[in-house]
Amino acid sequence: MSITQNTIIGIIGSGAMGMGIAQVAAMAGHEVVLYDNNTAALDNAKKILTRTLQKIQEKGKIISAHEILQRFSFANNIVEFANCGLVIEAVVENLEVKKSLFAEVEIIVSNDCLLASNTSSLSITSIAAACKNPARVLGLHFFNPAPLMALVEIIPAIQTDADLLPSAKELMQQWGKIPVIAKDTPGFIVNRVARPFYGEAIRIYEEGFADIATIDWAMTEIGGFRMGPFTLMDYIGHDVNYVVTETVFQSFYYDPRYKPSLSQKRLVEAGWLGRKSGMGFYSYAEGVTMPLPNKDIILGTQIFERILAMLINEAVDALYLKVASTIDLETAMTRGVNYPKGLLQWCDEWGADKCLEKLDKMYHEYHEDRYRASALLRKQSIGNKKFV
């Protein structure tokens, strides 16, 4: 099971992610079959891809948009995957839908065709179990927008043939991506480790400790993050961000560390999904003035350090539980969600003892398991051992 330049790539789903992955594969030289059972969505994808590639050509980044477009086939019948050597699924985050698709595709493709899911948080093992040959199934989690975001998480199911991983990693590198290997656990690397960036920010807001503008200011101006948590949640969309949080929470047997918030749930219920709907934590209506933050350095530092301690603890625990290697954890957070630096490096600079002290203080104050420190962080704090 190997992928070459001549391998035809199949993509299931013509939404933003499917289109983006298809564009990446086509620009890397592959013929691509983009499938969707919604003909209108498929036609729209063709128009968007045409405009996008023409703009890239105008910027001088490709020689011929027409040449790349010629590599595409737009299909509304799944049988057109028959000659594909790799099929990547990028549809709605629903386990039963994905399992049904994989079982259907497996009958059509050849025995040596690889099957991959772009799921951001669902079990690859469960998806693979829907197939007669689960050894050829793995996760290839691209980040949105796929043509611009470098990181790809490669997730083997427990059934996946181990020999596939080097091939998958090499393919992603050929596509200009930065691959990391993640254990098949809820949220993989990024969507697991990043949960406190959102969850603890909302908790601070719900407590009335600071308003959303101040929390965003603290994380960007003091923490150095590109976006504050509330701005980022509005950008991602609460229908997406909240569902990932809820999925991770349920998948971890309702571990309090991943508990969703009622504040975000209410936004979803109201249809206030963020920028896409014009209203989220902020209003994006024309003429609305954004709220101003309280630029108190002491307050801002308290906010930043509380959220950072939670992020570091999550990264350390992921390392402790062998979700990924040290280098892949650091790469995932700096290249997948553009953190200013790797969280393990941040812990080294900050001091494991300082991080532990903050977590223990919150644990004793709240008596909530969400603030329990990782056993590995506790070990590292003795003598302030380094991670990197």
Q: How far is CA 256 from the centre of its chain?
A: 21
> In 175-200, which positions are buried (b, 16+ CB within 10 angstroms) versus exposed (e)?
bebbbbbbbbbbbbbbbbbbbbbbbb
Burial (0-12, 13-18, 19+ Cβ within 10 Å), 304: buried
Among candidate residues 14, 118, 120, 374, the one labeled active-site is: 120
Reply yes or no on whether 191 is catalytic. yes
Reply yes or no on whether 123 is catalytic. no
Among candidate residues 14, 121, 191, 241, the one labeled active-site is: 191
Measured distance CA(11)–CA(81) in Å, rounded: 9
Q: Are 82 and 111 in contact (CB under 8 A)?
A: no
The type of residue at 316 is V
Among candidate residues 31, 106, 121, 141, the one labeled active-site is: 141
Torsion angle of alpha carbons 148, 242, 315, 162, nearest 10°?
-70
Reply yes or no on whether 141 is catalytic. yes
Q: Are 230 and 201 in contact (CB under 8 A)?
A: yes
3-state SS assignment for residue 368: coil
84-89 β-sheet, strand order: 72-75, 32-35, 8-12, 84-89, 114-117, 137-142, 151-156, 178-181
Measured distance CA(192)–CA(378) in Å, rounded: 20
Among candidate residues 89, 153, 200, 314, the one labeled active-site is: 153
Token pair for 309: 């301690």
Tokens 């975000």 belong to which residue?
264
Q: Are 379 and 346 in contact (CB under 8 A)?
A: no
Cite the active site residues. 120, 141, 153, 191
